[in-house]
Structures are given as C-alpha cells and as structure tokens.
Structure 1
Amino acid sequence: MSLKSLQKQLFLKAQDLVPQHQLSRVVGKVAASENKIVKNVVIQAFKAKYGIDMSIAEQKNALKYKSFNEFFTRSLKTTARQIDTAQEAVVCPADGAISQIGAIVEGDVFQAKGQSFSVEQLIGDPKLAMPFKNGQFATVYLSPKDYHRVHMPFDGKLTETLYVPGELFSVNQVTAENVSGLFARNERMVCLFDTSIGRMAVVLVGAMIVAGIETVATGKVKPTGRLELQHHDLALNKGDELGRFYLGSTAIVLFEQDVMAWEEQFKAQSAVVMGERLGHLTK
C-alpha cells in the first residue's frame, strides 16, 4: 500500500473514531467567542491559511468582526455578485465548486465514483421527496475560503423546513468517494418550495466542525436528535439569502422532472459563484 493510500485510509478511519458532534460543539464555542484575543488569533490564522479575499467583503477589516462566526459569514459588497435576472435562469445558490450535477435516476442521486444515495434518504421524508424522484440535482461544495451564505436559485415560496439529524463526516472529495450516502447521512436542513415550475428543494448539509446552519425562516438550527418539520409561508426571490453555514459544507438543489436543465459547461469540479446562471427552464 502506498503512503498516499495509507493516509487516505487513516483519514477515513478517523471519521468514525472522532467524536464528531462533541468536536463540532467545541469548535462552535470558539467560533462564537467575542473575546478579542481569541477571535483575532483565529481570524488571522484562518485568513492566512486560506488566502481569504477581503476586497469583496462589505467590511474589509477582518478584525472589525465581533467573532469568527461573524467574519466567516461576512456579507459581500452589493456589486461583488451579479444575479442573472433572466426569467428562465436558474442561478447558483453559493460560491464554491460543483461536486456533482445531473439527473436523479429512479430516485437515486449520484455522489461520486460509484457512490449514490436515494432522494428519500436525503430529504428525510418519502412524501416530501416524491416530486424529485426523476428530477434534477446540483451539489455545490463550499470550501473554507468561500463566501458562506446560501441564496435562492429561483423564485419560490418556502412551505416547509425539515431538520434531519445525522452524522458529521467531513465533506471533501475523499469522503464523497468513499463514505456511502455521505450527504444523506450527515445532519442537514431541508428547505422546500412551491415555484412556478413545481417543487424545488435546497438542502443545507452539515459536516464535521461545522458550528451551525441557519436559515432565514428558522434562525440558527438547534440540533435535537430528531426530525423536526416546520411549515412556512415565506416568499423569496431569486438571489435572496436563504441561509448560511457557520463553517462550510454543501448545498444541494433539487427540481422536478422535465422543468429545467443544467447548463452544459458545468460538471464535477467546475468553479461557480453565487448568482451565475447554472441552468434554465425548459417548461
């Protein structure tokens, strides 16, 4: 076995051995700290490690943020991202990279290299998942350096949110290729919408050391260890903020069958920015 293979196996084994939720809670407390020494040290180290571009941030001075969480979920200048306003455009919900994109085949969502999971597992409720059985999906991975707010890919009315408890595996290429059903096993918040072309879902997936998920309808999610369904009646326009990650992970967008198509240039590993055209209506 090569050194690289051995390192990969050790990393994957550690995913099971590490106390995922406890570690994430500890990181969450540090990230929320408003102690100037603590938050400044963490922000400076993070900024240096990941080469954060503060020129597009509304507040350019990283040390002006009250906590690491506030820095991490920083807003951008209004001119930093342009929303494709064409009526037929479906836009990318977040900055990052495409993990996978394509059709949901007989209820299965492709994950990576022979790995897939069912849309029922992802949504967490068979009835709510039914409209997407043969629809379309796009999985967008947000890396640590990215802007970490998630926006609406299309106009819609938020009708339900479903908190689904789960594990907190790291989310990256190695785990996507080797952890079965990764995105349907991790903790997540499912947001469901009525739109002019049918049902739409945006799933915010947690990961190890993600200190929290927040949506405009629910506020910051408080993990309870059980499914929690809430009903809403909230109209949101394309490009409106839907939620944010306190430390990053993944957003998955789902549409029904035969109502839209993804733009052909996007494939796994394609870099994307929030607001750019990711697909278009066909209905």
Structure 2
Amino acid sequence: MKQSIYRLCIELTNKKWSSFVLRKFVQSRLSKPFIPGFIRTYKIDTDELQDEIGEYPTLHDFFIRQLKEDARIIQFGENDAVSPVDGLLAETGPISDELEIMVKGKAYSVLEMLGADDKASSYIGGRFGVFYLSPSNYHRIHSPVDGTVLNRWSLGRHSYPVNDSGLLYGNAVLAKNYREITELQHRQGKVAVVKVGAMFVNSVEYVNESDIWRQGEEVAYFTFGSTVILLFEKDKFQFLGSKSVPREVKMGEKIGNFIE
C-alpha cells in the first residue's frame, strides 16, 4: 500500500507542467533571495565557491556553481578511476550474468538501463558503482578515466526521485528515468558513464563535446540532484577494497583500479 501511494503521488506531481513551473522559477531572478537559505539548509562550504554569493543571479546558477581551481585534487593514474562527482558512493558490486545489479536490495536491469543487447552485453559479469548526488553537492560531472568516446545516447522521458524513498518504492528508477549514457574506451577496457535524471527536471548539459575525455576534466552538469552509475567490463576493474561502502566521496578521489 505504501509503495502504491508513493508512486501515485509522484505520478501526479512529476508532469510536464510542474517541471516547467519549477524550471522557470529557479531560473528567474525571483529565486535569488532563496540562495542564502539554500546554503544554510544544506550546509554548503562557501569557501570553495568560484564566485561570491551575491554574484549568482538565480538559484539555478548557484546550483550549477563551479568551484575554485584548487578545491578538488585529481588523484591521477592511468590505470585508476576517480569519482566523477561529489556525492555518496552508495553501492558497488557485480553485474550478474543476467545483466542485473543490486541497489538497496532491489534488482535493476542493465539491459533496460542501456537500452540494447549489443550495448549491455559487454558488461556481463563486470562491476558497477552508484554515486548519488544530494541537493547540497557540487553538480558538475567529470571524467573518471582517460578515454575515447565510443558512443553517446539518451533514453527515457520522465524522471522520478533517486533518493532512498525513490530507490525503495519507485519503479526501477535507475533503469527507467531519463538518462544520458556515454561509453568510453579506456586502454584497459570499456566504461559506461550513465547520468540519471532526477525528479522534475530531465537535464544533463554537456560542456565537453570532444571525442577525448581526460581524467578529472569537466564534461557535463546536472540541473538538479541525481545519480551517476559507472559500469566496467568483466575482470577489468576492481573498486578499492580498503574503504567501506556506502561512503561520501569527492570528485577526483580514487575509487579503484583496472586489472592488468
């Protein structure tokens, strides 16, 4: 019953008109007075900001804020992967032979997530990592590895919450939400970077249209909080075994290494 009520409420609110109204408000100057309250509510470290608080004309501009050049350290390594975002590394684990991953005790289909057999089959028996961004996080997305862009595509029309309630009661949100997928060729194997839209605003904006991604460089940003999923091929990658999951991570922090 609780699950059904949750889904009904989301269906009633997550419509084109509600998304339009919210987007218009946060992108208007009417939203600027809400920035200080947003900072206090989410305890955002303003010392990291590239610009002064008063220089952000809208809440949206603050939400997609950039950081000072030295605010993050990229732990470079040609055989390493780094976190593409600030957020919670919520789950890591194996991709089953049935192309399923387990997140919060629920199974998600990698085939459905990527949309086609030829795209998903490369990741049978591989590894995955799920990174959740809350509203407090820096929302720019960076490349986890050095790689060449093999393909880029988008799937899904609507987005539902990807917080704990959304994962628990939602309908396969990680595989069904609006999502932008970029597949990279690292020298040790392929990596899929799945950028999952959040409720109300299906927006992933690219800032790098190059076919070459460099580890740690900015490639895109979320308009609102969401999730990034990394997929690695079988016997190609291992997450750090010395650190617990779930845990908070910063963009540029080493999360694991390719197996030579």
What range describes the TM-score normalised by the shorter chain of this pair? over 0.9
Higher alpha-carbon deviation: 17-26 or 102-111? 17-26
Letter in 2 for 1:111: V
Instruction: Output the CA distance in 1 between the equivalents of 2:13 and 2:224.
Output: 18
SS at match of 1:239: coil
The residue correspondences of 1:1-283 to structure 2 (distance < 5 A) are: 10-33=5-28, 35=29, 38-59=30-51, 61-106=52-97, 107-113=99-105, 115-210=106-201, 212-217=203-208, 234-283=211-260
Contact 2:14 2:200 in 1 (8 A): no
Structure 1's unaligned 5+ residue stretches are: 219-232
Letter in 1 for 2:142: H
Contact 1:111 1:181 in 2 (8 A): no
Letter in 2 for 1:82: I
CA-CA distance at 1:48 after TM superposition: 2.4
SS at match of 2:21: helix
CA-CA distance at 1:90 after TM superposition: 0.9
Higher alpha-carbon deviation: 68-77 or 137-146? 68-77
TM-score of the superposed pair, with normalisation by structure 1:
0.85
CA-CA distance at 1:19 after TM superposition: 3.4
SS at match of 1:45: helix
Letter in 1 for 2:214: N
Contact 1:96 1:271 in 2 (8 A): yes
Instruction: Output the CA distance in 1 between the equivalents of 2:235 and 2:65.
Output: 36
Instruction: Output the CA distance in 2 between the equivalents of 1:182 and 1:211.
Output: 13
CA-CA distance at 1:167 after TM superposition: 2.6
CA-CA distance at 1:20 after TM superposition: 3.4
CA-CA distance at 1:242 after TM superposition: 1.7
Instruction: Output the CA distance in 2 between the equivalents of 1:117 and 1:89.
Output: 26
Match of 1:229 in 2: none
Contact 1:74 1:147 in 2 (8 A): yes
CA-CA distance at 1:269 after TM superposition: 2.8
Letter in 1 for 2:228: A
- Measured against aligned partners, the alpha-carbon deviations of 1:54-90 in whole angstroms (never above 9, x if no partner) come to 111111x222013222211111111111111123221
SS at match of 1:105: coil
Instruction: Output the CA distance in 2 between the equivalents of 1:126 and 1:9.
Output: 31
Contact 2:14 2:159 in 1 (8 A): no
How many corresponding residue pairs? Answer: 259
Letter in 2 for 1:44: P
Letter in 1 for 2:173: L
Instruction: Output the CA distance in 2 between the equivalents of 1:19 and 1:240.
Output: 33
CA-CA distance at 1:29 after TM superposition: 1.4
CA-CA distance at 1:217 after TM superposition: 4.6
Q: 1:55 to 1:280 in 2, by over 3 A?
A: same
Higher alpha-carbon deviation: 78-87 or 205-214? 205-214
SS at match of 2:211: strand
TM-score of the superposed pair, with normalisation by structure 2:
0.92
Letter in 1 for 2:230: V
- Measured against aligned partners, the alpha-carbon deviations of 1:204-256 in whole angstroms (never above 9, x if no partner) come to 101113362112356xxxxxxxxxxxxxx611110011211011100011111
Cα RMSD after superposing both structures: 1.9
Contact 2:133 2:225 in 1 (8 A): yes
CA-CA distance at 1:270 after TM superposition: 0.9
Contact 2:178 2:202 in 1 (8 A): no
Contact 2:75 2:82 in 1 (8 A): yes
Instruction: Output the CA distance in 1 between the equivalents of 2:259 and 2:207.
Output: 29
CA-CA distance at 1:188 after TM superposition: 0.7
Contact 2:159 2:173 in 1 (8 A): no
Instruction: Output the CA distance in 1 between the equivalents of 2:168 and 2:125.
Output: 23
